[in-house]
Amino acid sequence: MAGLEENLLAVRARISDAARAAGRDPATVALLAVSKTWPAADVRALAALGQHDFGENRAQELLQKAGELPDVDLRWHFVGQLQRNKAAAVARLGAVVHSVDRTSLAQALGRAGEGSGRLVDVLLQVDLGGPEGELGRRGGADPASVPELADAVAQLPGLRLRGLMAVAPRGEEPRPAFDRLAALAARVREDHPGAVEISAGMSGDLEEAIAAGATIVRVGTALFGDRPLPCGGDRAHQPHESHR
């Protein structure tokens, strides 16, 4: 508990310092604790210190932890690549889905939202490319297709479009990529004023993300410590291993 508290205070201080350096109110930046691979006991401990929002990148792990923590006031977020056949289960938890990158997934989540009678908050994941502009390395939709995807999501009655999410490209300074994300977010907001969130920045680059306008930073390693690799060397979720 002492280590978690120290880490939480340090991360909150980094967020506050970065926000003030950017001329922003620190209260405009939310901390999302990415608890993937860490046990429910650690989530409980961090929640006892006042952390409310937690993120997972595998549906099975999310559902398991939520089942172990029914007595804890949490808001779950899903930050990994979500299969359509898991969409309903994630939606039933009331989880915010940060990784909508295609219409078919949005439709599955929309049906789940309608069926439960509760809107599903979603963010569109944007592929920010790599150093040569290539796409497909960190997951997400082609930036050119995002306005059209936003229009499609906004028309689904079971969803509420909340903004955009992205992971900084490897091999590139993060700030220019985050600036591209912020510009795209501003474009989306022209047609969808409620899409106010920018989910960007992790343990190693949260300052750059906040300077570019991030409203949610996704932090795991700086809170919980270094993660072990999944048992069996599973690499299926490798694009999201860096949600630190």
User: Which position has the higher pLDDT, 106 or 134?
Assistant: 106
- What pLDDT digit, counting tens, does each position of 20-64 carry? 999 999 999 999 999 999 999 999 999 999 999 999 999 999 999
User: Alpha helix (H) ranges present in the chain?
Assistant: 2-21, 40-48, 59-68, 87-92, 103-116, 146-154, 174-191, 206-212, 221-224
Give 29's Cβ-side CA count (13 Å radius): 31
Q: What is the pLDDT of residue 63?
A: 97
The 10 Å Cβ neighbour count of residue 70 is: 7
Q: What is the pLDDT of residue 53?
A: 98
Considering only the top CATH level, what class is 2-225? Answer: alpha beta
**H/E element holding 164?**
strand 159-166
CB 1 within 8 A of CB 8: no
**H/E element holding 33?**
strand 30-34
Q: What is the pLDDT of residue 139?
A: 77
Q: What is the pLDDT of residue 154?
A: 97
- What pLDDT digit, counting tens, does each position of 137-177 carry? 567 999 999 999 999 999 999 999 999 999 999 888 999 99
Q: What is the pLDDT of residue 2?
A: 65
Q: What is the pLDDT of residue 239?
A: 39
Tokens 């479009």 map to which residue?
Answer: 161
* Nearest-angstrom CA–CA distance, 56 and 33: 9
